[in-house]
Structures are given as structure tokens and as C-alpha cells.
Amino acid sequence: MAAGALLLALLLPSACGRRTGYLTDSFLSMDTVITVSLGKDTPDAEKIFAECRRRTEECRVIFDAHDPASALSRLNASAGGMTVPDELADVVSLAARVSEASGGAFDFTLLPVSTLWRNAEARGSLPTGEELAAALALRGAGSVSVVREDGAAVVRKAPGQTLDLGGIGKGAAEMTLLSYLSAESGAPYGVLSFGGNVAVFGEKPDGTPFVIALRDPSDPSGTAAELELSGGEFVSVSGDYERYYEIDGEKYGHILDPETGFPADGGLLSVAVVTHDGALGDALATALFVLGEEKGMALYRSEKLAFEAVFVRDGGLTATPGLAGKIRAAEGFVFDVSAP
């Protein structure tokens, strides 16, 4: 699994990309490589690793849209909604908030569109305009709501609507694991990586902050910047360089523009979001990639949602004011901290 770890959007810790001083466990779940790194003196690390795998699987069977037995697939198969586990209802509520705050850039009702792209890749030709129009017909996060009935959480949706929580589910699962690691496991400190989502907990014995490297999207072996994180912080990266559909030799990014159903092009190579809430950070990274820097900064300034962000363009990056002093751009990157 060491080779798999190199595929991560973030390298840990610092630019060397090696996790010395940690006990680590890597496994595949939720379509991504998950790595749990615990301080090297952590007692009972093997037990903690096993518990992390178990809890991850518990999350997967809720959020996995491609497993027909998952709670999400059952919700998708229902006509107009149904009672769901609280974990699913909470994530749908948060997804709806991000959708609203981002003016619809984050749209978790695009499952028919992403399924269309998957099929297009399999058959080797682009989706047609007609196919896209049909897949877009049922989109609209505004038709989805979460209500409480007799103490149970119920998600309502338009008949036939199907939800895709691929832009938020990994962050939600990561948050579940981080609360276990920081509050229950007994591990003093560590790092959790879910593909493009990384979180840290506790304090390192030497008191120094955790430093993670943001990958250079145009040179996957290079670094765009280094970012300092403190225990309890999450960073989520979205870009189109790592996951895409390949059709006729062309790459089509997996983050979709909800207006057109085509890959989003907000003018960014990638965007990193720093939060105290992993699900919010995951969803926002996807939303900001669609919005681009200017509209993304407007969302930041609106203070509707609490986050900091790094916008990565070709050869340059801009960080929001709260990251001043915590981020160092790599050589060759033109670096800017945006005015508050």
C-alpha cells in the first residue's frame, strides 16, 4: 500500500513526503486510500487501527452510492424519500447548506450526470446533448429536505431524484474517525489521510505544528506549498488532476458544473480548504473548485461558512487572510495572501 500512498493529493509531513516517527496503517475504502498515522509511542496501535477500519466500513455502508445495499442507495431507490440513519441525515443537511451558500455550485443531486460520464467512458464516446439534458432534468438540491418525524430523521426528495455524496462523504467519514482518535483511542497525536482530505489531532511531543505539503497539480511529484495545521484541523483538496474520465485520449475532470453537466472549469488547478469540520471542508473544496477564485473569495467574505482556503492556479496561489504566517509557497510559485 506504500505505492498507493504516493497517489495522495497531499504528502505528509513536510516536503520529504515520508512519515517518520509514526506507526501507520493503510487500506482501501470509499474508493480511496486511507492512511492512519499514530505517534510512534501509541499504546495498542494495532487495536486502534482495527477500530479505524471497522468505523470506516460503518461509514461506507451509509454513504457509498455504488453499493446497492448502502443507506444512500436505498434512499435513492425510494420514490420520494424515507427514514435514514442520523449520520446520513446530518450530511444531507450540511450538503444542502453548502449548496445554498455556494449558489448551487455544490450540487449533490448530480448522480445521473456522473453515471452518464462513467458510461460514456466505458463506451468510449462523449455524452450527447440529449443524454446530458435528460440527466440534468432531475437535478436541484432545493427539492431535497431533511425533517424529523416521530424522532426519526427523514430525507425527502423529488420522485426519481438520486443523490451523490461523493463530494462530502469522505470528509464526513474522516470526521467520525478523527473524533474517535482524538477523544477515545488514547493515541496522543497523529494524522489521518483520506485521499485529498487530511486531518491532524493532538500535539506532537516537540510542540511543533503539523506541516503538510500541498501537491503541485501540474507536477505531481512537486510541492506547491507547505501548510501548518494544529490538532483538530482538516484540510481538503479538490482538483481535476487526480480523478477524471478518459474518453478518446482526452481527460474530463470528475467535478461537474451543475449548469452544463460538463467538467467544471473555474480557472483553478486545485483548491485546498482548512476547517474544523471535515465534511464542510470536503464539500467546500468541491464547491470552490467549481466557483473559481473570485466567486470563492466572495463566499469567504460573506462569512456564511467558517473556512480558510488556498486557490492554486498555474504557477501561483492565493491564500485567505487567516492562513497568513501558516503557509509557505514553494519556490517558483507566485504567492499572495488575499486582502481581508
What are the CA-CA distances from residue 65 to residues 56, 72, 110, 285, 312 (Å)? 15, 6, 12, 20, 30
Given the rule CB under 6 A, which of 11-19, 102-110, 177-185, 321-329 is the region that contacts ligand ADP? 102-110
**Rounded distance, CA 152 to CA 135, Å?**
31
Can you tell me whether residue 28 is helix, strand or coil?
strand
x-or-dash string of contact with Mg ion, 158-197, rule CB under 5 A = ---------x------------------------------
Smaller CB distance to Mg ion: residue 226 or 282?
Answer: 282
Pick the binder of ligand ADP from 40, 60, 243, 328 (CB under 6 A): 243
**Rounded distance, CA 4 to CA 27, Å?**
9
- Compute the least distance from the CB of residue 196 to Mg ion, in Å: 7
Q: Are 95 and 141 in contact (CB under 8 A)?
A: yes
Pick the binder of ligand ADP from 167, 217, 261, 296 (CB under 6 A): 167
Pick the binder of ligand ADP from 19, 215, 254, 313 (CB under 6 A): 254
Pick the binder of ligand ADP from 34, 75, 92, 110 (CB under 6 A): 110
Residue 269 binding result from ligand ADP, Mg ion, none, given CB thresholds of 5 to 8 Å by partner type: none
**Rounded distance, CA 317 to CA 311, Å?**
5
Given the rule CB under 6 A, which of 16-24, 101-109, 244-252, 270-278 is the region that contacts ligand ADP? 101-109
- Compute the least distance from the CB of residue 103 to Mg ion, in Å: 17
- Compute the least distance from the CB of residue 167 to ligand ADP, in Å: 3
What are the CA-CA distances from residue 336 to residues 139, 203, 301, 311, 324 (Å)? 37, 29, 17, 10, 9
Smaller CB distance to ligand ADP: residue 64 or 107?
Answer: 107
Please state the φ and ψ torsions of residue 319, each to the nearest 5 degrees: -115, 150
- Compute the least distance from the CB of residue 285 to Mg ion, in Å: 5
- Compute the least distance from the CB of residue 86 to ligand ADP, in Å: 22
Nearest CA among 302, 250, 290, 242 for reference residue 266: 290
Using CB under 6 A as the binding rule, whether residue 70 contacts ligand ADP is answered as no
- 81-83: strand order across its sheet: 81-83, 152-156, 145-149
- Compute the least distance from the CB of residue 265 to ligand ADP, in Å: 12
**Residue with the three cell numbers 485546498:** 272
Question: Of residues 268-307, which lie at the interface with Mg ion (CB under 5 A)?
Answer: 282, 285-286
Can you tell me whether residue 75 is helix, strand or coil?
helix
Q: Are 194 and 170 in contact (CB under 8 A)?
A: yes
Total binding residues for ligand ADP by CB under 6 A? 21
Q: For Mg ion, which residue has the nearest CB? A: 286
What are the CA-CA distances from residue 11 to residues 6, 19, 82, 198, 225 (Å)? 8, 9, 40, 10, 11
Question: Of residues 269-288, which lie at the interface with ligand ADP (CB under 6 A)?
Answer: 282, 285-286
Pick the binder of ligand ADP from 108, 234, 245, 311 (CB under 6 A): 108
Question: What type of residue is 39?
Answer: G
Interface residues with Mg ion (CB under 5 A) are: 167, 282, 285-286
Interface residues with ligand ADP (CB under 6 A) are: 106-108, 110, 114, 164, 166-167, 170, 195-196, 238, 243, 254-256, 258, 282, 285-286, 290
